[in-house]
Amino acid sequence: MERPLIAIFNGPNLNMLGLRQPEVYGRTTLDDVEQLCAQAAERLDVGIDFRQTNAEGELVSWIHECREMARGIIINPAAFTHTSIALLDALLAVDLPVIEVHISNIHRREAFRHISYVSKAAVGVICGLGVQGYTLALQAMTDIIMNEETQ
């Protein structure tokens, strides 16, 4: 049987991971995160499509693509988390399980980061656990997909 595909999408400035505010986000680069996810996916026997963009519209289009190609979406929408109704609407439109990930604990930070528009579309949110949040999300998403299959 074909492996289920899980999309892992990253929003603006996450291409700067490792260089950007290391005291908040650590020194791991986005390439390292992709590697960690690829290794976890191998263990879990799922496929991943790992991408990053700085453009909101591109993220919206990628989410639409998932309707046909993916079984679930893991997304770190970065700053769009706190601003984008378009992203929320796109996630609601595709009707797939969504897990929202943040590297930092957004609730310990500035008040404007405490609001997430995206959470309304998410089955769960992982924040504050560093880049490990991505692999935890992959594990959780795999469980969700497996449960769908046994129902």
Q: Could you list the residues that contact ligand DQA (CB under 6 A)?
A: 13, 76, 78-79, 81, 102-104, 106, 113
Specify whether the CB–CB gap between 9 and 51 falls below 8 A. yes
Specify whether the CB–CB gap between 96 and 72 falls below 8 A. yes
Please identify, using beta-carbon distances, which residue of 141 and 145 lies nearer to ligand DQA: 141
Pick the catalytic residue from 64, 102, 114, 117.
102
Query: DSSP letter at 2?
Result: P
Active site residue 114: no
Going by C-beta distance under 8 Å and a sequence separation of 6 or more, which residues neighbour residue 94?
63, 64, 66, 67, 73
Please identify, using beta-carbon distances, which residue of 59 and 145 lies nearer to ligand DQA: 59
Shortest separation between residue 149's beta carbon and ligand DQA, angstroms: 30
CA pair distance 36, 111, nearest whole angstrom: 31
Active site residue 25: yes
Shortest separation between residue 4's beta carbon and ligand DQA, angstroms: 25
Shortest separation between residue 59's beta carbon and ligand DQA, angstroms: 13
Please identify, using beta-carbon distances, which residue of 17 and 40 lies nearer to ligand DQA: 17
HEC per residue, 115-132:
CCCHHHHCCEEEECCCCH
Residues tagged active-site: 25, 102
